């Protein structure tokens, strides 16, 4: 793998990238949109998190889709802004760090007592900003596992395992390391889903009740 010159990336730039990412990532769009729509506090229904899956439990599909888009877009925006301000054509670290911080901000927003979403949409937003082709890889894996198992959670978990491996194989060690960290955290946030998958009680795609 080629060596990467970090000499032009200052500590201030890296800290600023993290700050930009966290502040954008911590915007709780699911909570904001449901309140604006008069549906109350989304944290008081279903799983209690602020992501699109829980917003869908309000019965408003359009609102859930908007939440999904905005939760992904905030990470994309953070990564693109930081990369534009502090990165270079060969050094993607500022963008990666901002994307990672947006992911953390979504999971642990300071405004909501550090209780946020599970991060899959924001994970995708990071990929879209830094290595867009990885979104296609993620989608392919997700759809393949979903077709075989009909478990949405399992599909997302497997996809997050594949992404760091592919990035490493194509010679992107920085991105592989950052996405690997995101994968570990995503799995930790899906602890209850994993327990239900093991026990056979996890709901399947299209299953009612």
pLDDT tens readout for residues 32-79 = 999 998 888 888 887 778 888 888 888 888 998 999 999 999 999 999
Alpha-helix runs per DSSP H in 108-172: 120-130, 133-149, 152-169
What are the percentages of helix, strand and coil residues in the chain, rounded to 5?
A: 70, 0, 30
Q: Domain limits at 99?
A: 11-199
Per the CB < 8 A criterion, the answer to whether 156 and 142 are in contact is yes
Evaluate whether residue 207 is within a structural domain. no
Which pLDDT belongs to residue 58? 84
**Cα distance between residue 141 and residue 135, in whole Å:** 10
Evaluate whether residue 55 is within a structural domain. yes
Per the CB < 8 A criterion, the answer to whether 182 and 119 are in contact is yes
Higher-scoring residue by pLDDT: 133, 57: 133
Q: Which helix (H) or strand (E) holds 114?
A: none
Evaluate whether residue 123 is within a structural domain. yes
Q: Taking 50 as the threshold, does the pLDDT of residue 209 lie above it?
A: no
Mean pLDDT of 110-128: 91
Q: Whose CA is closest to 120, among 83, 175, 157, 173?
A: 157
48: left (phi over 0), alpha (psi -120 to 50) or beta: left
Mean pLDDT of 114-139: 93
Residues contacting residue 165 through CB under 8 Å, at least 6 positions apart: 176
Evaluate whether residue 154 is within a structural domain. yes
Per the CB < 8 A criterion, the answer to whether 155 and 147 are in contact is no
Per the CB < 8 A criterion, the answer to whether 130 and 78 are in contact is no
**Residue-averaged pLDDT of the chain:** 89
Higher-scoring residue by pLDDT: 60, 124: 124
Evaluate whether residue 41 is within a structural domain. yes
Evaluate whether residue 97 is within a structural domain. yes
Domain count, the chain: 1
Evaluate whether residue 2 is within a structural domain. no
The position carrying tokens 């008081």 is 44
User: What pTM did the predictor assign?
Assistant: 0.88
Evaluate whether residue 5 is within a structural domain. no
């Amino acid at each position: 793998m080629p060596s990467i010159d970090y000499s032009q990336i200052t500590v201030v730039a890296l800290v600023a990238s993290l700050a930009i990412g966290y502040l954008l990532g911590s915007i709780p769009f699911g909570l904001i949109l449901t309140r604006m729509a008069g549906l109350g506090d989304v944290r008081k229904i279903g799983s209690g998190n602020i992501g699109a899956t829980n917003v869908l439990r309000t019965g408003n599909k359009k609102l859930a889709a908007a939440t999904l888009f905005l939760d992904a877009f905030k990470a994309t925006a953070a990564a693109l802004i930081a990369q534009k301000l502090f990165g270079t054509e060969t050094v993607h670290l500022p963008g990666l760090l901002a994307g990672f911080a947006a992911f953390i901000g979504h999971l642990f927003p300071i405004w909501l007592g550090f209780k946020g979403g599970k991060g899959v949409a924001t994970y995708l937003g990071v990929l879209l900003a830094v290595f867009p082709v990885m979104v296609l890889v993620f989608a392919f894996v997700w759809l393949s596992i979903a077709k075989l198992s009909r478990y949405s959670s399992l599909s997302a978990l497997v996809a997050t395992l594949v992404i760091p491996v592919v990035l490493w194989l194509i010679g992107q060690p920085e991105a592989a390391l950052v996405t690997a960290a995101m994968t570990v955290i995503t799995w930790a946030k899906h602890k209850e889903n994993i327990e239900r998958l093991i026990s056979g009680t996890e709901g399947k795609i299209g299953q009612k009740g």
